[in-house]
C-alpha cells in the first residue's frame, strides 16, 4: 500500500569528505541497558547501502557501556540491543547517550546528539503508520474472505488516503528537524514524483550545510534526472500510433486538462481503475478534460479488446513494447497504473492520481 522510491532509506547512509583531525572526529557512544536479556550489543555503520558491523560493546555489571569511534562526516549507525531492539543513531560531532530498560519496551532515552534525537521522531512516525497499515490489511483480508466487494473498494480508497496523508506527515516531520541531517533518513519515505519541489529544496539546503557528503551528492544527481518530470515542468511529448496505426501526439490535446494514463490489458489494477477513469471522463469531458491512454501491452489484439471491453473512449496509443515503450522510458515508468495530469499549457500539475484522489483533483479543477 506504500510507494517505494528507488532511493531506499538505507542506501542514503554512505558519506564522504575530509576530516580536520582524528581527535576532533572522535564521538563517544555511551549509556545504560537495564534488565537486559542474554546476548550482545552490536554497533553497525551503514555503508554502501547495507549495515557493516563495527564491533560488539561490552557492558559492565550495572549495564553501562562506552565506546569511541571516529566520525568524519554525517553518518548513520545502528545499535542492536541483544537482537531485540534496534536503535538508529545519526552522528557527526556530538557524543550520544542511549539508555534503555527492557522492562519498559516503549521507553528509550537518547541524549546528547541532537541528530540522533531527531531519529526518534521517524521511529514513532513509522510505528504509527505501520499500525494503520496493519489494521487496513487485516480488514482487507477479512473482506476478501467474505467476498465483500464494496468493503474491499472502500479499504483500497482508505489505503490511498493513508498513503497521501503519510506523505504530509513525513514532510511535517522533516520540517520540524530543521537542518538536521537526520532528515536524510526520511527521504526514502517520500515519492519524488509527487514531492519533487519539497525534496529538491531540502537537498539544496542540506548540501550547503554538509558539503561533499556522498549521499547528498548522489541524491542531487538523481533529482536532476527527475527534474524534467517535476510538477510545473512541461510534459514531454508523446507521439505513438493508435490502434488504427495513425500517429497521435500528446500536444494535439493542448488547451485541455489531460490525464496521461499508463496502463495495459494484462494489468489487473489498471483494469480495476478503468471504470473510475471512464466515469471521470464522462463527467468532465465536456468541461475540458481529456485522457491520453498509453498502453504497455505487447499483444495488439489484447490491447484493442481491452479498449472495447472497458469502453475507453479516448485517445489510445501504444508501440507494443511493454516497459521498453518509448513513452514509458521518457516518463520513467517502472510500474502501472501510473498517470500524469497536465494543464492546458502542457505543464504537469499532479501525478499518480487514482480513485478518490483523481476525483477530488478534478472536482477542484471543474467543480462538482
Q: Write the pLDDT tens digit of every residue in 206-226.
A: 999 998 888 888 888 888 888
What is the edge-to-edge ordering of all strands in the sheet holding 75-81? 50-57, 41-47, 75-81, 85-91
Intervals of CATH 3.40.30.10 along the chain = 239-366
Instruction: Give the pLDDT confidence score for residue 9 in this predicted structure.
Output: 35
10-113: in CATH 2.60.40.180: yes
Intervals of CATH 2.60.40.180 along the chain = 10-113
Q: Are 9 and 140 in contact (CB under 8 A)?
A: no
Q: Map 274-298 to HEC letters.
A: HHHHHHHHHHHHHHCEEEEEEECCC
CA angle 190, 193, 194 (to 5 degrees): 65
CA distance 250 to 60: 69
- The predicted model gives 107-119 an average pLDDT of 93
Indicate if the pLDDT at residue 45 is higher than 80. yes
Q: Map 101-165 to HEC letters.
A: ECCCCCCEEEEECHHHHHHHHHHHHHHHHHHHHHHHHHHHHHHHHCCCHHHHHHHHHHHHHHHHH
The x, y and z cell numbers of residue 188, run together, are 526514502
Around 159, how many Cα atoms within 13 Å sit in the side-chain half-sphere? 19
239-366: in CATH 3.40.30.10: yes
Q: Which of 14-23, 54-63, 225-234, 299-308 has the highest mean pLDDT?
A: 299-308
Amino acid at each position: 500500500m506504500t510507494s517505494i522510491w528507488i532511493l531506499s532509506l538505507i542506501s542514503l547512509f554512505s558519506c564522504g569528505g575530509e576530516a580536520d583531525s582524528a581527535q576532533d572526529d572522535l564521538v563517544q557512544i555511551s549509556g545504560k541497558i537495564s534488565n537486559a536479556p542474554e546476548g550482545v550489543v552490536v554497533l553497525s555503520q551503514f555503508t554502501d547501502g547495507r549495515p557493516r558491523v563495527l564491533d560488539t560493546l561490552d557492558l559492565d555489571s550495572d549495564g553501562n557501556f562506552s565506546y569511541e569511534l571516529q566520525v568524519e562526516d554525517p553518518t548513520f549507525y545502528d545499535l542492536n540491543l541483544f537482537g531485540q531492539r534496534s536503535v538508529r543513531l545519526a552522528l557527526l560531532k556530538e557524543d550520544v547517550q542511549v539508555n534503555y530498560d527492557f522492562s519498559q519496551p516503549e521507553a528509550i532515552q537518547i541524549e546528547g546528539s541532537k541528530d540522533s534525537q531527531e531519529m526518534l521522531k521517524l521511529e514513532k512516525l513509522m510505528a504509527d503508520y505501520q499500525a494503520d497499515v496493519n489494521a487496513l490489511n487485516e480488514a482487507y483480508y477479512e473482506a476478501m474472505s467474505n467476498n465483500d466487494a464494496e468493503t474491499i473498494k472502500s479499504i483500497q480508497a482508505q489505503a490511498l488516503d493513508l498513503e497521501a496523508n503519510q506523505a504530509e506527515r513525513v514532510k511535517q516531520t522533516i520540517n520540524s528537524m530543521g537542518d538536521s541531517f537526520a532528515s536524510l533518513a526520511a527521504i526514502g519515505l517520500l515519492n519524488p514524483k509527487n514531492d519533487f519541489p519539497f525534496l529538491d529544496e531540502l537537498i539544496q539546503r542540506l548540501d550547503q550545510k554538509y558539503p561533499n557528503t556522498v549521499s547528498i551528492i548522489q541524491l542531487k544527481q538523481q533529482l536532476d534526472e527527475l527534474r524534467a518530470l517535476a510538477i510545473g515542468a512541461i510534459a514531454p511529448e508523446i507521439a505513438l500510433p493508435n490502434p488504427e496505426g495513425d500517429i497521435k501526439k500528446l500536444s494535439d490535446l493542448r488547451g485541455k486538462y489531460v490525464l496521461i494514463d499508463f496502463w495495459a490489458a494484462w494489468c489487473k489494477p489498471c483494469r480495476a481503475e478503468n471504470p473510475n477513469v471512464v466515469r471521470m471522463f464522462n463527467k468532465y469531458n465536456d468541461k475540458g478534460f481529456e485522457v491520453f491512454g498509453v498502453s504497455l501491452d505487447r499483444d495488439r489484439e489484447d490491447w484493442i479488446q481491452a479498449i472495447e471491453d472497458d469502453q475507453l473512449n479516448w485517445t489510445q496509443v501504444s508501440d507494443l513494447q511493454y516497459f521498453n515503450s518509448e513513452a514509458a522510458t521518457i516518463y520513467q515508468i517502472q510500474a502501472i497504473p501510473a498517470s500524469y495530469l497536465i494543464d492546458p499549457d502542457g505543464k504537469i500539475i499532479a501525478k499518480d492520481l487514482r480513485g478518490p484522489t483523481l476525483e477530488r483533483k478534478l472536482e477542484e479543477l471543474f467543480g462538482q
